[in-house]
Structure 1
Amino acid sequence: MLINNLRMSFDVRKTIDKNPNPAKVMVYNLTREHMSALLEKRWTVMSLSVGYEALRLIFAGDIVRANVSRDGMDFITELECGDGNTAYSSARVNMVMPAGTTDAEAAVALTSTMPGVTRGPMAVTRTLASARPRVYSGNTRDHLSNLARANGADWSIQDGELTMLPASAVTADEGPLISQDTGMVGMPQQSDDGLEVRCLCNPELHIGGLVRVQSILPHYSGDFKIVGLQHAGDSMEGDWLSTITCVGGIFQKVERKTAVGAGASAGDDIDIMEPDEYYATHPWMPRVYSVDALLARKSYGLRKLPVDRRRFQSRAR
């Protein structure tokens, strides 16, 4: 069912942690047939796209609960949704992966056990293969949490895509500019979770991506990683607003690459990390490797990744 000419209000909240992102959508004066279909759970998924000219997706997920209430002459259908809620709560795994399995391969295998979830931007900091078989049994979310923790990363489901990003990594998309000229509302405010910035609703913002903040105070200006996001609005009244929670730092972009170009052969290089010059000027930064590129390298029989022996030896002491 496509709804595009009725009054709607929405409140979408996203974070970088593993818990399903919640959304609340209220639709006014649906037909009785459509209200019944939602109440009887004949429709179980929902996507929400907004925009001022072209529509852009800001939420996709499972309908957890539907309720209908009345306010005067209006019948209001309230949908409570969770991004990847079914997969998060019910996905289970029972498999053994052979010795030589890498964290990248484990991440992909675990993602495949979550119904309705596809692979989004994913990166790891560890490239060493395991010396022994890996046994996974139980809730998929628990094993993903352990894997992410071992790589200093956060995992979450964003609009049906599973993402895993180390603290020093961001998605490769170009971050939008938020300033007084591009829709910033008020001034940025510092909070316990990071810098909070409000602006007119901007569907280009996404968790794990960059945002460039330009404030009249230089202290609040710069490039930040988005770790929290809220979109809220009503099609009949008020402004549509986005509230961003972001953190500063030096970040490495994670490219999404799923294949190697034609003609690749053993000994070829794939750009799976920042150039060595980057790490020469930022020696404290752990290397971040794209999961897609690591798998492409292995499937094409390309030469092995360099091992960070310094970190390996420090763990052995």
Structure 2
Amino acid sequence: MARFDRIASVEVGLRNNTFNGYIGSIKLSALRISFSIQKNLSWSTNTASVKIWNLSQENRNRIKDYGDQVILSAGYREDAGEQLLFIGNTTQVSHAYDQPEIVTTLDCGDGERILNQKSITVSFKEKVPVRQVVQTIADQLGLSISEFTATDNVVYEQGFEYAGMGKNALDKAVLRLGLRWSVQNGKLQIIPQYGTTSKPAIEINADTGMIGIPQRYTDKRAAVYLDGPRTGYIVQTTLRPDILPGDRLNIKSERIGLNGPYAVFSIKHEGDLFGPNWRSIMEVILV
């Protein structure tokens, strides 16, 4: 039996044979759906494993092993309704037969077809603004930019040329601006190397869905920070599709005297319309 107030749906865009478009879609909403999604502040693709129970044989045959677009939305019927939780492309598809049920698993990567498959060629004359280079790379990759933090007008004095994987070109240009990039829900997010998005801080406390008490840990990913390892917390909440890596949170827990601004380094969403999980688990660090 479905859990009260939870809603989720999946739309699968069926790729064409040349991987440059879609030839239709399958919309699924009246079936059991579960998911495990991992999102990080990294150029590597965010990943999702989406399970769907008892797809028809026709729809199982239509879904391809690689390259279909998967859009997962989830939320609460009596709150904000369904919200976009993940968008990406299938990297593997399997069907498990456990009679009388059939479980289809869609393993996906956010930006998979772009980040791991697409090459570009760009060439600019001297004194080209680095921001212009970044925008051109994004355009060639077919990525819209959801956020691009303001910077000084840094230029390539000798021009800029590149031919190869587009994500490597992004690395070079974005780092020149002192920023970092990632793909979140199919869009390019470019934010300060050691900062957050420009979104207003999100309140996280017992009244807004925080589960239990934040767990303290030491984050030792030294390359991520200017001043070495940092103390962070693992925070659990009810499912929060609106929170992305890089967002700023105001976290308050009276039990441990926690009250301050934190940045989301990673977030994992776990949910099952027929199971116990419907939550988000975040790694956060002090900002």
1:197-236 correspondence runs (5 A): 197-217=235-255, 220-236=258-274
**Residue of structure 2 in register with 1:265 after alignment:** none
For residues 255-289 of structure 1, give each alpha carbon's deviation from its aligned partner in whole angstroms, at most 9, with x where no partner exists: xxxxxxxxxxxxxxxxxxxxxxxxxxxxxxxxxxx
The AA in structure 2 aligned to 1:23 is A
**Residue of structure 2 in register with 1:55 after alignment:** 82
**Quick one: distance in 2 between partners of 1:40 and 1:230?**
24
1:16 aligns with 2:41: yes
Calculate the TM-score normalised by the size of structure 1: 0.74
The AA in structure 2 aligned to 1:192 is T
Please tell me whether the aligned partners of residues 211 and 236 of structure 2 are also in contact (alpha carbons under 8 angstroms): yes
**Quick one: distance in 2 between partners of 1:56 and 1:142?**
31
**Quick one: distance in 1 between partners of 2:100 and 2:183?**
38
Give secondary structure in 2 for the equivalent of 1:202: coil
Give secondary structure in 2 for the equivalent of 1:90: coil
Q: Which runs of 4+ in 1 moved over 6 A?
A: none
Quote the offset at 1:219 in angstroms.
Answer: 5.0
**Residue of structure 1 in register with 2:284 after alignment:** 246
Quote the offset at 1:14 in angstroms.
Answer: 0.1
**Quick one: distance in 1 between partners of 2:268 and 2:108?**
14
**Residue of structure 1 in register with 2:198 after alignment:** 172
**Quick one: distance in 2 between partners of 1:218 and 1:230?**
23
Please tell me whether the aligned partners of residues 176 and 204 of structure 1 are also in contact (alpha carbons under 8 angstroms): no
Of 80, 84, 91, 2:111 maps to 84
Give secondary structure in 2 for the equivalent of 1:192: strand
The AA in structure 1 aligned to 2:266 is G
**Residue of structure 2 in register with 1:129 after alignment:** 155
Please tell me whether the aligned partners of residues 65 and 90 of structure 2 are also in contact (alpha carbons under 8 angstroms): no
Please tell me whether the aligned partners of residues 31 and 52 of structure 2 are also in contact (alpha carbons under 8 angstroms): yes
1:93 aligns with 2:120: yes
**Quick one: distance in 2 between partners of 1:47 and 1:187?**
32
Please tell me whether the aligned partners of residues 7 and 234 of structure 1 are also in contact (alpha carbons under 8 angstroms): yes
Structure 2, unpaired ranges of 5+: 1-25, 220-231
Of 37, 46, 50, 2:70 maps to 46
Please tell me whether the aligned partners of residues 125 and 166 of structure 1 are also in contact (alpha carbons under 8 angstroms): no
Quote the offset at 1:165 in angstroms.
Answer: 1.0
**Residue of structure 2 in register with 1:147 after alignment:** 173
The AA in structure 1 aligned to 2:46 is N
Give secondary structure in 1 for the equivalent of 2:281: strand
**Quick one: distance in 2 between partners of 1:98 and 1:195?**
46
Q: Which has the higher strand share?
A: 2
Q: Which has the higher helix share?
A: 1
Please tell me whether the aligned partners of residues 38 and 269 of structure 2 are also in contact (alpha carbons under 8 angstroms): yes
Please tell me whether the aligned partners of residues 12 and 232 of structure 1 are also in contact (alpha carbons under 8 angstroms): yes
Of 136, 142, 165, 1:109 maps to 136
Quote the offset at 1:125 in angstroms.
Answer: 4.0
**Quick one: distance in 2 between partners of 1:136 and 1:8?**
43
**Residue of structure 1 in register with 2:225 after alignment:** none
**Quick one: distance in 2 between partners of 1:159 and 1:48?**
10
Larger Rg: 1
For residues 36-64 of structure 1, give each alpha carbon's deviation from its aligned partner in whole angstroms, at most 9, with x where no partner exists: 111465x7001111111211001001111
Give secondary structure in 1 for the equivalent of 2:134: helix
**Quick one: distance in 1 between partners of 2:117 and 2:42?**
18
The AA in structure 1 aligned to 2:33 is M
The AA in structure 2 aligned to 1:47 is I
Please tell me whether the aligned partners of residues 175 and 205 of structure 1 are also in contact (alpha carbons under 8 angstroms): no
**Quick one: distance in 1 between partners of 2:28 and 2:164?**
39
**Quick one: distance in 2 between partners of 1:5 and 1:127?**
51
The AA in structure 1 aligned to 2:76 is Y
Calculate the TM-score normalised by the size of structure 2: 0.81
1:29 aligns with 2:54: yes
Structure 1, unpaired ranges of 5+: 250-317
Please tell me whether the aligned partners of residues 147 and 197 of structure 2 are also in contact (alpha carbons under 8 angstroms): yes
Give secondary structure in 1 for the equivalent of 2:76: coil
**Quick one: distance in 2 between partners of 1:6 and 1:179?**
32
**Quick one: distance in 2 between partners of 1:40 and 1:33?**
15
Give secondary structure in 1 for the equivalent of 2:196: strand
Alpha carbon RMSD of aligned pairs, Å? 1.7
